[in-house]
Amino acid sequence: MITVTGQCVAAFVFGTTVGVLVQRSRWCNTAALRDAMLFKSYRNTKALLVGMMILTLGFTGFITVGNGNPMRFDVGLNQFIGLFLFGIGMVLAGACTVSSWVKTGEGNIGALWALLFLIIGMFAFSLVWSSTYWPPAPAAMTGQPNLSGLQFGFADALTLQQKTGIPAIVFGLVQFAALFGLYRAILRKERAMQEARGQVPAATSRSSSSRAPAAMPETAVGAAMAGGAGAGGSLQEEA
C-alpha cells in the first residue's frame, strides 16, 4: 500500500515525464480531433490511438488478474453533455487539459489564461451544483441505474468479467482490434491522399486553397492549429 506522500511523488514524476514528452513531441489532444476533422491531418490522432491500444491491453490485462485501480463512479448523460461542452471549449481555447499545462510551461500566456478560466468555470459550476445537486456526487452513487438522475449505473471491463465469467482481456482484445482497425483505416487514407497529391498536384492545390481560411494558406493554418506552439492565441503569431 503506497502512502499519500508516495502517491504524490509518483504523480509528480509521472506528470514531469509527460510534460517533457508532450513538449518534445508537440502532441496535442485538441489537434488529434480538430485536425482530423478540419484538415484530414492525422499526426496526433495516430499517436492517440496507439496510446489507447497499449492502455486497453495493459488495463484489461491487469484487471483480469485482479490488479489495478479502475475509476468507479456511475455513468450518466452528464458524461456526454459535459464532454460535449468540453470539446467545444478545447477547440476554441486551442488547448486541452494537457496542452494548457504544457504550453504554460513553454511561456504561453494564452494557455495560462485558458487555465485560469478553466478554474473559474469549475468554481462557477460548483455554485450551480450546490443548488441542483446534479449530477449526483460520486459518494452518493450506488452502481445501479438511477433514471431520475439520468444515471445508468456502472459498467466496465471488470463488471463484464464478473457477469460473464469471460476474462476482461478478451474484451480488451476486441477493443484493441477495433482501435487497430481505425488506425489502419487512417494509414490507408493517408496513403490514398499522398497518391492523389502525387498524381494530380494541380487539382490538389486548387482544392486546398478553396478550403483554406481567407486570411492564410491552409498549410499555415494546419501548422498553426497543429498545437505546436501556443493556445489558440498563437495562431496569428505563426501565420
Partner 1 sequence: MELFKKTLDPIIALAIIALLDVFLFLIVGAWTVGGGETMIAGLVAKYVLGAKTLARIPFWSLVFTPTWAYWKIYISLGMGFGAFVAAVLSKEFYWRVPRHLSEWVMITIGGLLMGIGIRMSFVCNVSTFFGLTPEMNLGGYLAVSGIVAGAWVGSLIYKRVLEA
**Residue in the structure block whose three cell numbers are 510534460:** 19
Q: Which is nearer to partner 1, 15 or 201 (CB)?
A: 15
DSSP-based three-state secondary structure for 1 = coil
Complex with partner 1: residue 175 or 204, whichever CB lies closer: 175
Distance in Å, CB of 205 to partner 1, minimum: 19
Could you give the CA distance from residue 149 to residue 1 in angstroms, rounded to a whole number? 35
Residues composing the chain: 239
Shortest spacing between CB 201 and partner 1, in angstroms:
25
Instruction: Please give the angle made by the CA atoms of 97, 92 and 54, to the nearest 5 degrees.
Output: 40
Rounded CA separation 158/131 (Å): 34
Distance of closest approach, residue 199 Cβ to partner 1, in angstroms = 27
Q: Which is nearer to partner 1, 55 or 203 (CB)?
A: 55
Beta carbon nearer to partner 1, 4 or 202? 4
* Residue 75 CB-density burial (10 A; 0-12 exposed, 13-18 middle, 19+ buried): middle
Are 133 and 68 contacting, i.e. CB atoms less than 8 angstroms apart? no
Nearest CB to partner 1, comparing residues 71 and 202: 71
Taking the complex as a whole, the smallest distance from the CB of residue 148 to partner 1 amounts, in Å, to 17
